[in-house]
Structure 1
Amino acid sequence: MSLSSKDINLILNFLNEDTCGSSLTFEQISAQFQHNISKSDYLRVGNALVLLLQNRDLIPTPQQRLIILFLFNDMYKSEQQSIHMNPFAPVFISILQNNNGENLSTQKHFHWFISPVTQHERWFVKTLINNNNNNKDLMKKTPNQILQTGLPATKDDNGKEELKEKIQERLQQLPVLGQCHLSAVIDDPEVNYYGFDTLIGGPRHRSNDSRQTIERLLSNNAMEQTIHPEFLRLVPPLHECTIDELVWLSPIDYDPTLFTWDSTMCIANTINHEIRQLMDKAYQGALNLQQQQKLLDELDNDQTLVYHIGLVPSKLPVLVENSPLISIQCLLKLISSNQMTEYLSSLLNMDMSLHSMEVVNRLSTSMELPQEFLHLYISTCIKTCEETKDKYLQNRFVRLVSVFIQSLIRNKVIDI
């Protein structure tokens, strides 16, 4: 995405060749930058600044470059745990290269090609990445004051090699082709070679031209346009097929009976989904007559559906209390299940109620229940009657158990 006109104007005001050296301190630049540009736009703005830094004819003064280098550090100083996590840390490494001891290939390895800088700019970057107490002093100075500061007599390269190694480790995680991109914007190596500045308007005219050029580049998203090698794939050769393979690819004697299309393939089973939704409602409360009948009909139509609706022994007591008819139908379908004993145990351990006795009674008339289960269930019911303290509730339980036992005797489910 290209930069907005508001962001472009802010950058150009910071980098105004006539005023950038003395109009604002770095502290004021930081405050204005953070106030006008959101954090989500930092990376795009940073890429635009890299483009300017790579083209020396657009920002010819060291004051402009000091502001750009400061913004690289200022954008991510509160978020990074270490300087190597800054997305623009490779720029700092390019600045810190020793012109005498390191050649251009090292800079290309870091994918940044930065024009030569002054000793003051290199010292400024060292101070920024070392994050020492000098940073507080730098914040209160203007770029001109930095350039007028005396340089230290000794070189301090502490941490540079370690920073290079950490950046190389990060770059190795990127795809190889991703590291081969070059900027699509290239500066003119012959600027001023023929003295055009003196012929056409002088430095002021050059400044206006640079401003217009920067505006066009940043508004057209030039910072994300790159030149990169294309990943070419050779056209694979034609496969030489044997006679048998040709017969298979283009069958001559086509017998439609050999192949049958599965019409149910890739079709969503909406019935199972609807039934599972109804079962979830049944666990939470009683269903209405229409929903209950829908469930019973689908269970009758598909004998295996009961295994796919999520009914486990632990959920049976809730289903019995809310929908005893559905519980009976499901248990009858689960007769052959290897978990039938667990379902009966769940019935045996639940609290005695009219619905639970109704389920056991209906099961006893529809299938042969184990006598041991029936005796234990009756014993549990009698024990519940004995332990109930409320006389009214106790009398009600006794009547229910009596009717239940009479029904079992009448249907010859148990012997007297």
Structure 2
Amino acid sequence: MPDEAHATNTVIVGAGHAASEVAVSLRQKGYTGRLLLLGEEPYQPYQRPPLSKGYLSGEADEQALYLKPTSIYEKLGIDVRTSVRVVKLDPAHQIVTLADGAEEPYDKLILATGGRPRPLSLAHEAKSVQRLSNLHYLRTIDDVNSIRRQFKPGFRLAIIGGGYIGLEVAAIASRQRVHVTVLEALPRVLARVTAPELSAFYEQVHREAGVDIRTSAQLERLELDASGDAVKTIVCADGTVLTTDFLIVGIGLIPNVELAQEAGLTVDNGIAVDQSGRTSDPNIFAIGDCSSRPSALYGRRVRLESVPNALEQARSVAAALCGQPCPDESVPWFWSDQYDLKLQMAGLSHGYDTLVVRGKPSARSFIAFYLKEGRIIAADAVNSPAAFMLAKRVVAKQPLINNRSALADETIPLQSVFSDAAQ
């Protein structure tokens, strides 16, 4: 095992939630060595979730996105460099190479490289489609700034993808009197993350708000305007033709693993790490969206795209580097804001065989429990924060529920249902 106590020079590649948190946590835990944080964007570390929520709507300004004031990093002795791109890792000599040719040595290296939007790929247009003036992705401040310039009443917006990002954008755009059409390739929205009952609920909510939701929509091609620089119409495989003023593509995230892969690190649906965040190289760690780690709770390796996961992994690495015990694994949780609805999700529902809904979706406040072989493995709560907090604790224990009707009955206190299950 490497001697972490003698590490005096730690380099962090990335400048998102995970990178900021690991740097600050190291200082809080007593690390006194050099801390260098390298970010590719021209901004100090900032939050990404508000990009598709408050920042997109204009309710939050750029300053509200920043995780810490610059003065905090300076006070903690964290050297934050922006507009810097790392192009190569040299584990043998413990050096990172920057795009300008400069080299930075390290004792310990932390990769917090995040991910990038999955590009729209149409067979005969794969090369040109990414460079059109009215086709956008949503991952950075600059992305949102470009999108907001086209948020004009009466404009027609086509959103490719009915996941969290697509539906959050649809909610904001429709409130700003933009005509929104969501094109989802699968038979329902949120298909990868929720049950059909939740998908149906959100489809209805969006349609009631005036959003045109089209599922099982396969894109055939994009037709450009006379300038050749902008999409004019979208042609679907069934012959449907949709005229649009601008497009936003939200079809998933690709973890940025290329630096690690080229350096010979093990990659398995992300940069493979152990519980402490250590990669196959003992001096290199990885955290956040770019990493996958073993989960005792789910019995497999998982890669999670969430702020809570980024923070937990950052604190685990900080603890490991300071010779302290790593925190216990937490239940994964996520959230999404759409209109007046807050969706909070605890656990991973993949593989569930039974869904129990407590409350009435028509009342826009309910919680859905995912069961596998009688045990609760996940829960989705809509406008039910108290039930969500309780469910989050319960999912960690995955209790066996013998009385499913009691779980669905709002007249029976939820706490008593779980208490009975624990006996």
Which TM-score applies when normalising by structure 1?
0.21
Greater share of residues in strand: 2
Q: Report which of the two structures shows the higher radius of gyration computed on alpha carbons.
A: 1
Greater share of residues in helix: 1
Which TM-score applies when normalising by structure 2?
0.21
